[in-house]
């Protein structure tokens, strides 16, 4: 929605599909996006459902379903980690998939038990 807010690193990565094998998206992320819109903390100029459908067509994007394993592992993340359930699911997904998390969230970037970058 706001490409200018992306870091140079992330812009460079996602604008060149040859630089990555695949992009993963936790199934909780579209839910979290919709909740932010619902609560008025995020506004977009089109229908959220249509936006999500378009976003899911990014080259090499794979939606990672919320599995029982990810749900369980989100509850036993190594301490210290904050208590936001969506962030716990996202971090557990990255850990389970052995993926690097792209995030601007300082609480995740400083968490030593998950690879992340911005």
The model's confidence at residue 2, banded by pLDDT at 50, 70 and 90, is confident
**Residues 80, 66: Cα–Cα separation, whole Å:** 23
Question: What is the percentage of the chain residues whose pLDDT exceeds 70?
Answer: 99
The model's confidence at residue 1, banded by pLDDT at 50, 70 and 90, is low
Classify residue 66 as exposed, middle or buried by CB count within 10 Å of its CB (0-12, 13-18, 19+).
middle
How many residues are present in the chain? 118
The model's confidence at residue 58, banded by pLDDT at 50, 70 and 90, is confident
Least confident interval from 12-21, 36-45, 90-99, 102-111: 12-21
Domain boundaries, the chain: 3-117
The model's confidence at residue 79, banded by pLDDT at 50, 70 and 90, is very high
What DSSP letter does each residue of 75-103 carry, written as one string?
TSPPSS----HHHHHHHHHHHHHT--EE-
The answer, yes or no, to whether the previous bond of 80 is cis (omega within 30 of 0) is yes
Confidence (pLDDT) at 3? 75
Return the bridge partners of 112, or none: none
What number is the average pLDDT over the span 81-106? 96
What number is the average pLDDT over the span 72-80? 97
Kind and range of the H or E run holding 26: strand 23-26
CATH code given to domain 3-117: 3.40.50.1010
Residue 13 has pLDDT above 90, yes or no: no
**Residues 11, 118: Cα–Cα separation, whole Å:** 10
């Amino acid at each position: 929605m706001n490409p200018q807010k992306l870091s140079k690193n992330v812009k460079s990565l996602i604008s060149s599909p040859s630089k990555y094998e695949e992009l993963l998206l936790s199934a909780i992320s579209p839910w979290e996006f919709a909740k932010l819109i619902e609560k008025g903390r995020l506004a977009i100029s089109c229908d959220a459902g249509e936006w999500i459908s378009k976003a899911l067509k990014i080259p090499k994007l794979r939606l990672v379903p919320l599995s029982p394993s990810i749900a369980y592992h989100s509850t036993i993340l190594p301490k210290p980690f904050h208590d936001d359930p969506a962030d716990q699911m996202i971090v557990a997904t990255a850990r389970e998939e052995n993926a690097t998390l792209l995030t601007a969230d300082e609480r995740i970037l400083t968490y030593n038990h998950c690879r992340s970058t911005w």
